[in-house]
Amino acid sequence: MALICSHIYKRILLNKCKNVKKWRNPNCLSKLPFLTSTSAILLCSPRSRFLRTTTSECASRRVWEVPDQNEVSKLKAIYQDPKSLVNQLLSPMVKSGDTVEPILVFNPKLNGHMWRARLELYWPHNINITGVHCSVHQAEENAYLMACDLFRHLGMLFERDGKMMVVDENYVFLVLQMLYEKGTYTGLNTQSQYNFNLSTTKVKEEDLPVWQSELRVPWPYSFSVTTSGSSLHSTQYMTCLLTSMRLKTIGLLNKRNGLAMEKIPKISRKFQLSSLSQKKPVTREEFSPHFEIYVDASQSGFGAYLLTKEEGKINWISEPWSKHFPHIDLKQKGARINNTFYEYYALVSACYTWKHKFVDKRVLCWSDNMSAVQYTNEGPRCCDKNQLQTYGKLYMIMIQMCAKYNIRLKALHVRRMENHAADLLSKLNVGEFKKFVPDAKLMPKKTKKLLFWRPLIEMDKPKDDSKS
């Protein structure tokens, strides 16, 4: 029954995502849920395509063995040692403590005639993969086989000389270098600055040293991947894996996860057309702001500081999330919140706090979150329906504020490494901020709370395992 319910649930997900091919369009790749949603990651698996075409008779048989014998034989031919591949893929992150080892849970079914092996993975998101067989060892292998197949379709395993191997930093750098050279030789990429760039820095987060890494790929589709971890190697490794995942999503990797040379011109043209259709981002010199706000958010809270040409001392805010969401523990696993929400809420709240200073003025906000910048300039029109309700409320507050006080508000992206002062405020590290910015005022500005008729975020209801 649990497996049938799982199939029904996946069918519902597929019905909600009828236009899955649209996600591969470079115009909307920045809104892809693949990096933030477990259910969307599962849709990458080839098994989701099986759910579209399977018959009811075939589906009833698959309740007994998952995957079936024919599928197992095909997967074994591709992945000779699936357990070793999964462990090798996650090993750098497990050693550094950035994730935990995969957990296997065995449950007997049909009075012990069948065994269900549930493989629990915790990176890149919490994913449960189930294998069912009359043999407990085969059930375990089935779960690992499907895990390998999922990772391959996410772009984290590649084929070389007929053998499946784990993607690492060297492989990602090789693919990006080939991508750069392809654009240079064909004339599609005419600027040398369009080469990829990896930057890593060490910061303190809640008095603990943390490594932050950012990999920027400007061509043929511009995007950046940012991660944080406990060690230098693990952080760069996770950044490269997520970059490979994004390249796969765009369509730049083929079935073997090698560079799809034939698709580069088409994707490049699409990106150029989308860039021409979009408004050119305003520069600081063109906008000539009266005020500038640097804002950042973290798991602890959010902070911002205000730069102006008139006053000598710098205004700043730094508050924990508990003051704004007292009914929710944002560090708890059940809180439905992501990094973009943190950043966008912090940006709107900071502008709302100093709105009386901004009457008939031009205000420029600096954020290290690209989505928050885009929501500020264009509105959250590219969100899905669930996110639109949340982000739409924040956007309406911002629009009404600008209309009431005649504020011209724009946002620009700043690299995380260059937003260190706001980062200190977001982590409630006021002492370090005052050392870093000696012209800061002694006391912070108290933020004005944003009022809503209903809670902006809610906790997920806990799952009842007894019903599964």
Q: Is the pLDDT of residue 191 over 50?
A: no
Higher pLDDT, 420 or 461: 420
Q: State the architecture of 2-153 in CATH terms.
A: 2-Layer Sandwich (3.30)
- Max mean pLDDT among 58-72, 118-132, 371-385 falls in 118-132
pLDDT digits (tens, 9 = 90+) for 59-101: 444 445 678 888 899 999 999 999 999 999 999 999 998 888 9
What's the pLDDT band for 196 if we cut at 50, 70, 90?
confident
Order across the sheet with 315-320: list the strands. 315-320, 301-308, 291-297, 362-367, 408-413
Q: How far is CA 109 from each of CA 1, 135, 189, 302, rounded to the nearest angstrom?
A: 11, 11, 57, 49
Residue with tokens 């493989």: 119
CATH code, 166-277: 3.30.160.20
Phi, psi (degrees; rounded to nearest 5) at 409: -115, 130
d(Cα 254, Cα 247) in Å, to the nearest integer? 10
Residue 3 reports pLDDT greater than 50: no
More confident residue, 465 or 405: 405
Q: Are residues 217 and 243 in contact, defined by beta-carbon separation less than 8 angstroms? A: yes
Number of neighbouring beta carbons within 10 Å of residue 140 = 19
Q: Where in the chain do CATH 3.30.420.10 domains reside?
A: 287-436
Local confidence band at 27 (pLDDT 50, 70, 90 cut-offs): very low
Edge-to-edge strand list for the sheet holding 103-109: 103-109, 114-121, 127-133
Q: Is the pLDDT of residue 316 over 90?
A: yes
Quick one: average pLDDT of 213-242? 86
Residue corresponding to tokens 């798991």: 299
Inter-CA distances, 396 with 48, 222, 364, 375, 380, Å? 37, 29, 18, 11, 10
Cα 460 to chain centroid, rounded: 20
Alpha carbons within 13 angstroms on the beta-carbon side of residue 354 total 29
287-436: what fold? Nucleotidyltransferase; domain 5 (3.30.420)
Q: What average pLDDT does the segment 203-232 reach?
A: 80
Rounded CA separation 300/322 (Å): 9
Q: In the numeric block, which tokens belong to residue 168? A: 């690492």
- CATH 3.30.160.20 positions along the chain are 2-153, 166-277
pLDDT, residue 228, reads: 85
Q: With 70 as the cut, is the pLDDT of residue 160 above it?
A: yes
With a pLDDT cut of 70, the percent of the chain lying above it is: 71
Average pLDDT over residues 269-276: 61
Is the pLDDT reported for residue 333 higher than 60?
no
Q: What mean pLDDT value characterizes the chain?
A: 77
